[in-house]
Amino acid sequence: MNIKSIIVDDQNIAIKRIEKLLNGHETIEIIGSFSNGLEAVDYINYLKPDVVFLDIKIQEVSGFDIIDKISTDFKPLFIFITKHNEFAYKAFDYFAFDYIIKPYEETRFYQTIDKIVKYKRKEELISLQSSLNNILSIVQNKETTGNRKINIKSGNKIFFLNLDTIKYISASGYYVEIFTDDNKRHLLRESLSSIIRRLNSSRFIRIHRSTIINTDFIEEIITSSYGETDVKIMDLKPTFRVSKGYKKEFQELMGVK
């Protein structure tokens, strides 16, 4: 297993220390080190590392700005290494994998590395299971188009969920939550990109990096004079914001502007 990593910090001494610690680890490969946050964003989007080690404050941008600018089709593990302990709660709101306070001991750093390796090994197994699920889903859906289902793995069982019952799907860290019209919630360790491929239906559309909706359950589309678009789902009080990156596709599909 080869885990690709990128380091982002505006202090060269901080970069050199992480490089030194990682060079002694055979599993993790450094594919780039950057002191400029905006330059780092371009390379993260292009190289698609498995892990990003980054500081909170990096010249003109923050570590949170960098995460916001990352493409939505993949999600590296973000490890904050910083002297700013006051941003820890916010970091985990951004689904940070770990948060290390400077100055730190080598043992603390290697604890994080061990967690990364264990997580990526599990992810490989999950990816294999997802591929098997995709094959099973294709077989299951081949015979019918009017009553299609998606398979859901729960413990040591696999059950089949009718697509007509799914109202929306939300990302929750490294999991997705499927919400159905009977007010049930199903938790899966799978990415939104993977789940929407398995759904394979034009009725499901991604409106945000963390949200997929079933257009059959749309009750209202609300637009503002500021150019914002919100969607109201049947029998739900909160609305869902359509982000700029998905707005054009959503408007074309729904026939609205």
Q: Where are the domains of the chain?
A: 3-123, 144-254
pLDDT band for 145, please (50, 70, 90 cuts): very low
Whether 139 shows a pLDDT value over 60: the answer reads no
Distances (CA, A) of 120 to 1, 26, 66, 176, 256: 9, 14, 22, 18, 42
**Torsion of the alpha carbons at 56, 62, 64 and 67, rounded to the nearest 10:** -110
CATH (residue range 144-254): 2.40.50.1020
Please identify, in words, the CATH class of the domain defined by 3-123.
Answer: alpha beta
pLDDT at 144: 46
Distance, CA of 257 to CA of 254 (rounded, Å): 9
pLDDT, one tens digit per residue, over 207-252 is: 998 999 999 999 999 988 788 899 999 998 889 999 988 888 888 8
pLDDT at 226: 81
pLDDT at 159: 86
Distance, CA of 241 to CA of 228 (rounded, Å): 8
Whether 128 shows a pLDDT value over 70: the answer reads no
Distances (CA, A) of 168 to 108, 128, 134: 39, 25, 20
pLDDT, one tens digit per residue, over 45-104 is: 999 999 999 999 987 899 999 998 887 677 899 999 999 999 999 998 888 999 999 999
